[in-house]
């Protein structure tokens, strides 16, 4: 008797018991559905996070004084000579200043806003900054410390609600009351993706030189923060190590925090991995429960079909042919369940990609499908062994006598 | 009719002891107690005797569904002792056709597929199996019921499907255990007529029955009493 014959026979017998077969394989359907959906969702999440991170931060390295050491900001600044040293690396070096300022939302009410010093022509240095309107102040304007500003999308809406910001004058105040009047030359695009909501800070970008000249706390030639925007083909890990070496040789270990966006991605990836492992465990549990369900239904089936088994033996079936028949029936049952589970998972993934903006691409690897089906077949094989052995061991006479 | 060739069935001192229970509570039932029996090709033998006398047990041993506890049995001249489970299954498939009182048709298979079932275990291609099954059903007069399920057939028709299933094997030996036990008298007559016809075609038939008028149609009656052949063993 060939295996194909066995499969046909298994299908016939399962089809004859549609409702019960379906109920029996519900556990398998859920288990395989969970496995498939979780693996693919994990892959889709990783893809989404990676894309979003690259959109807002590109491939960058961030250098800033390490606050964990309990030091004062001003005791560990980044100096002009550090910037010169960093410029030997394959990256655009963008030294920046951070300070806070206030603006008059209504007469008498002042609100905080972030003031950020940058070099001129930032979008060219770091392409993740995209202009929505106007222009970015030039390198010459930046060097001259002119009172010009580019606003983040949020800052434009806060400072000039319902009005065109470009061309306006923004009035800001330092905490000590000193006034700053800035001509707005451009507005940036809001960041997209998952980080669109989180990263939508109200920020006013001005030349570093201007902050040095006007802020009561900033000191000329000292920066708070440096972004290294990696050139194409540069290796993030290697450049990170080189930057670390520059700062360690000058100031010792642990004074500066130097991390790349890729290390953030690594963190996100490991979180995703833990999540997947957890969900995989849940899926495994439901497969175990599903498998026991299959075993149960197969044992019931063997008992119910005692006479059939006896008859088949009387007609010349060997014990191993009977065993094969019931094993294949269990495998067909779980494979059908696995197939249903994969189809359900694919449906869910399609709905998610269509409705949740974060999940941009539908990912269902053939390897995942193959794994899901292999797992369901193995579950059938494993949990079918005992019922099949019981069927094979039946004494034909006892079986024929069985009422 | 004088037997002029080698017996299909030859038994010497065949004993079957059933043990049930365990330890000191073991109960032994001596279903057969030294049966000597020969059956020759083309014979139509009725196996008779009171209930519990061992008729079914003897038939199961003849058909290799069971093995003797003691004694020797040759089927078609070859000793049965020492054959493996798989060998016994193969011989059952190729040389023995069973007909049971309770028909034993698979309820989800059509008449045609029920009849083709033994050939599945012979490894024949599907087309060939169905061709032979159709011919067997036509031979028992059910050429117009090929695609009927057992539930759509009368008792007599079911038993004819079962007989076709035995015939499709082209066995050396047709074994029937009270084949008319579940049938009304008209269907019984039909089935017995069919066996008469098969006998005329030269088939070797062993039929278990406890009805004298059924036994009367056979060529020879073997009477069992308490697990022994009381009459007609003809060794
Ligand atoms: N599997 C078994 N276990 C124990 N006793 C059995 C078994 N099969 C048959 N017997 C006993 O063997 C005897 C013969 O049974 P059986 O061959 O079925 O008789 P018959 O068919 O003539 O009515 C009976 O006493 C029966 O109870
Ligand atoms: Mg009986």
A247-256 pLDDT, tens digit per residue, is 888 888 878 8
Q: Residues near ligand 1 with C-beta < 6 Å? A: B 18, 20, 29, 31, 49, 51-57
Distance from Cα A219 to the centre of ligand 2, integer Å? 111
pLDDT of B1: 47
More confident residue, A185 or A403: A185
CA distance A204 to A154: 10
Closest partner residue to A315 among B109, B117, B123, by Cβ?
A: B117
Domain B43-68+81-231: CATH class, spelled out: alpha beta
ipTM of the complex: 0.94
B contacts of A320 (beta carbons < 8 Å)? 86
Tell me the pTM. 0.71
Dist. CA B226 → ligand 1 center (Å): 10
Residue A50 has pLDDT above 50, yes or no: yes
Spatial contact of A132 and A221, defined as CB atoms under 8 Å apart: no
Nearest ligand to the CA of B224 is: 1
Q: CB distance A318–B89 less than 8 Å?
A: yes
Domain residue extents for chain B = 43-68+81-231
Average pLDDT of A28-51? 83
Closest CA to B16 of B50, B74, B59, B76: B59
A24, β-bridge pairs: none
- In terms of CA atoms, which chain B residue is nearest residue A392? B85
Q: Give the relative orientation of helices A261-304 and A319-355 as an angle to the nearest 10 degrees.
A: 140
Residue A182 pLDDT class (50, 70, 90 cuts): very high
| Backbone region of residue A178 per phi and psi (left: phi > 0; alpha: psi in -120 to 50; beta: other values) | beta
What pLDDT is stored for residue A193 in this prediction? 56
Q: Which pLDDT value is given to residue A194?
A: 53
Q: What is the pLDDT of residue A191?
A: 73
Residue of B nearest to A320 (CA): B86
Q: Give the pLDDT band (50/70/90) at residue A75.
A: low
**pLDDT of the residue at B2:** 46
Search chain B and give the residue with CA nearest A5.
B120
> What does the H/E/C string look like for chain B?
CCCCCCCCEEEEEEEEEEEECCHHHCEEEEEEEEEEEEECCCCEEEEECCCCCCHHHHHHHHCCCCCCCEEEEEECCEECCCCCHHHHHHHHHHHEEEECCCCCCCCCCCHHHHHHHHHHCCCCCHHHHHHHHHHHHHHCCCCCCCCCCHHHCCHHHHHHHHHHHHHCCCCCEEEEECCCCCCCHHHHHHHHHHHHHHHHCCCCEEEECCCHHHHCCCCEEEEEECCEEEECCCC
* Residues A267-300: tens digit of each pLDDT: 777 777 777 777 778 788 888 888 998 899 899 8
Work out the pLDDT band at A226, boundaries 50, 70, 90. Answer: very high
Closest C-alpha among B176, B201, B159, B186 to residue B46: B176
Q: Which residue in the set B100, B109, B120 is minimally distant from A1, CB to CB?
A: B120
Task: Kindly report, residue by residue over A4-23, the tens digit of the pLDDT.
Answer: 777 777 777 777 777 777 77
Q: How would residue A198 be classed by pLDDT, with cut points 50, 70 and 90?
A: very low
Q: Which of A120, A126, A152, A121 is nearest to A58 (CA)?
A: A126
The residue ranges of chain B whose pLDDT is under 70 are 1-4
Q: What is the pLDDT of residue A22?
A: 79
Q: Is the pLDDT of residue A48 over 60?
A: yes
């Amino acid at each position: 008797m060939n295996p194909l014959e066995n499969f046909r026979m298994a299908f016939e017998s399962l089809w004859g018991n549609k409702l019960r077969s379906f109920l029996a394989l519900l556990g398998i359907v859920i288990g395989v559905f969970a496995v498939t959906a979780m693996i693919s969702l994990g892959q889709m999440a990783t893809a989404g996070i990676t894309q979003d991170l690259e959109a807002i931060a590109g491939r960058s390295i961030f250098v800033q004084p390490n606050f964990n050491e309990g030091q004062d900001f001003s005791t560990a600044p980044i100096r002009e000579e550090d910037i010169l040293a960093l410029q030997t690396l394959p990256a655009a070096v963008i030294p920046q200043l951070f300070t806070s300022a206030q603006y008059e939302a209504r007469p008498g009410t002042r609100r905080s806003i972030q003031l950020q010093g940058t070099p001129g022509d930032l979008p060219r240095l770091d392409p993740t900054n995209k202009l929505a309107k106007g222009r970015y102040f030039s390198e010459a304007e930046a060097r001259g410390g002119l009172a010009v500003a580019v606003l983040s999308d949020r800052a434009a809406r806060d400072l000039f609600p319902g009005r065109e910001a470009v061309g306006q004058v923004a009035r800001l105040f330092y905490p000590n009351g000193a006034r700053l009047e800035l001509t707005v030359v451009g507005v940036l695009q809001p960041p997209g993706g998952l980080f669109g909501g989180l990263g939508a800070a109200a920020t006013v970008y001005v030349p570093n030189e201007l902050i040095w000249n006007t802020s009561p706390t900033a000191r000329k030639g000292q920066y708070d923060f440096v972004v290294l925007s990696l050139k194409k083909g540069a290796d993030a890990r290697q450049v990170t190590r080189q930057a670390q070496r520059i700062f360690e040789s000058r100031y010792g270990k642990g004074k500066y925090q130097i991390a790349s966006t890729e290390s953030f991605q690594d963190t996100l990836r490991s979180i995703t991995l833990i999540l997947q492992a957890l969900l995989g465990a849940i899926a495994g549990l439901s497969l175990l429960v599903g498998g026991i369900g299959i075993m149960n239904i197969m044992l019931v089936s063997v008992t119910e079909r005692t006479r059939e088994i006896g008859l088949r033996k009387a007609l010349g079936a060997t014990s191993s042919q009977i065993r094969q028949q019931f094993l294949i029936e269990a495998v067909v049952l779980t494979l059908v369940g696995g197939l249903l589970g994969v189809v359900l998972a694919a449906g869910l993934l399609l709905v998610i990609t269509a409705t949740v903006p974060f999940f941009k691409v539908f990912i269902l690897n053939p390897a995942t499908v193959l794994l899901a089906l292999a797992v369901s077949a193995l579950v059938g094989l494993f949990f079918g062994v005992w019922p099949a052995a019981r069927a094979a061991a039946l004494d034909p006479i006892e079986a024929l006598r069985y009422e | 009719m004088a037997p002029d060739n080698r017996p299909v069935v030859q038994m010497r001192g065949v004993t079957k002891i059933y043990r049930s229970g365990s330890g000191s509570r073991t109960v032994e039932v001596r279903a057969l107690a030294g049966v000597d029996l020969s059956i020759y090709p083309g014979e139509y033998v009725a196996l008779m005797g009171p209930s519990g006398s061992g008729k079914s047990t003897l038939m199961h041993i003849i058909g290799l569904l069971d093995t003797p506890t003691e004694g020797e049995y040759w089927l078609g001249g070859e000793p049965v002792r020492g054959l493996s489970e798989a060998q016994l299954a193969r011989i059952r498939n190729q040389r023995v056709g069973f007909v049971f009182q309770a028909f034993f048709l698979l309820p989800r298979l059509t008449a045609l597929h029920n009849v083709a079932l033994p050939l599945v275990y012979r490894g024949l291609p599907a087309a060939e199996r169905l061709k032979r099954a159709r011919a067997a059903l036509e031979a028992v007069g059910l050429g117009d019921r090929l695609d009927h399920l057992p539930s759509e057939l009368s008792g007599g028709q079911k038993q004819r499907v079962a007989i076709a299933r035995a015939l499709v094997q082209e066995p050396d030996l047709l074994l029937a255990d009270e084949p008319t036990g579940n049938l009304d008298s008209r269907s019984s007559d039909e089935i017995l007529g069919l066996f008469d016809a098969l006998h005329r075609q030269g088939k070797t038939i062993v039929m278990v029955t406890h009805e004298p008028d059924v036994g009367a149609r056979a060529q020879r009656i073997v009477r069992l009493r308490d697990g022994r052949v009381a009459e007609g063993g003809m060794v």
